[in-house]
């Protein structure tokens, strides 16, 4: 099964696990997906990068194509765990802007949340009509707890848009990632996260 693996700049992941061309690692398949019993991969390069801030949190990541086999466990489309993963070759890391990351979080929120005021704000943010902090704050007040993460994306984007700082951009990226995760866990509303990622960022292929 073809998947994508994200590593740090030294081609390492959790517990200094070293990856490289045609390197295979195995796991037991025991326990929760976030534990050591599973090797984490992604179904699309964009998801690997968009969700990186809440998963591996690699600042200068490398992206690998990989072949997976054995047992598989999934996490609502956010990531997969396999018991055997072989990295085959390193590939280009698509450039994703902070705006695209925020767009991804908002689109995920819109897919599961129907509050009218928040959605009206989201549409104006996505179109570029109104990205002000005041509008984001109004949307946040209108949102219920279920949409708090998506509303937080708005305020993060509005308040940090003019700040050219890697730390600030990374914080906004993390907020957008959390919003996507919150939306993915919405009961009974499965998301096509790959389609949403492509809508937000364009297809890197």
Share above pLDDT 70 across residues of the chain, in percent, rounded to a whole number: 83
In order of their start, the domains of the chain are: 2-91 (3.20.170.40), 98-201 (no CATH)
What pLDDT is recorded for position 139? 76
35 CB-near residues (< 8 Å, 6+ apart):
none
Kindly report the pTM of this predicted structure. Answer: 0.86
Tell me the C-alpha distance between 164 and 156, whole Å: 13
Tell me the C-alpha distance between 40 and 55, whole Å: 9
Question: Quick check: 58 and 6 in contact, CB under 8 A?
Answer: yes
Q: Give the tens place of pLDDT for each residue, 46-101.
A: 999 999 999 999 989 999 999 999 999 999 899 999 999 999 999 999 999 988 99
Residues of the chain with pLDDT under 50: 146
What pLDDT is recorded for position 122? 87
What pLDDT is recorded for position 117? 82
What pLDDT is recorded for position 150? 59
9 CB-near residues (< 8 Å, 6+ apart):
58, 59, 60, 61, 62
């Amino acid at each position: 099964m073809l998947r994508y693996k994200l590593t740090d700049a030294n081609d390492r992941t959790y517990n200094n696990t070293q990856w490289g061309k045609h390197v295979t690692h195995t796991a037991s398949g025991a326990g929760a997906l976030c534990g050591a019993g599973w090797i984490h991969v992604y179904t699309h390069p964009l998801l690997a990068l968009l969700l990186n801030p809440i998963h591996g949190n690699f600042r200068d990541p490398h992206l690998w194509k990989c072949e997976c086999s054995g047992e598989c466990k999934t996490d609502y489309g956010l990531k997969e765990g396999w018991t055997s993963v072989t990295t085959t070759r390193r590939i280009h890391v698509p450039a994703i802007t902070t705006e695209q990351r925020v767009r991804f979080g908002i689109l995920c929120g819109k897919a599961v949340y129907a509050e009218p005021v928040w959605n009206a704000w989201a549409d104006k943010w996505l179109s570029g009509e109104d990205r002000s902090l005041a509008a984001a704050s109004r949307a946040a007040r209108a949102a219920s707890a279920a949409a708090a993460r998506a509303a937080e994306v708005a305020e993060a984007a509005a308040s940090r848009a003019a700040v050219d700082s890697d730390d600030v951009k990374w914080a906004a990226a993390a907020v957008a990632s959390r919003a996507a995760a919150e939306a993915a866990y919405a009961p009974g509303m499965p998301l096509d996260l790959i389609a949403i990622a492509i809508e937000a960022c364009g297809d890197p292929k």
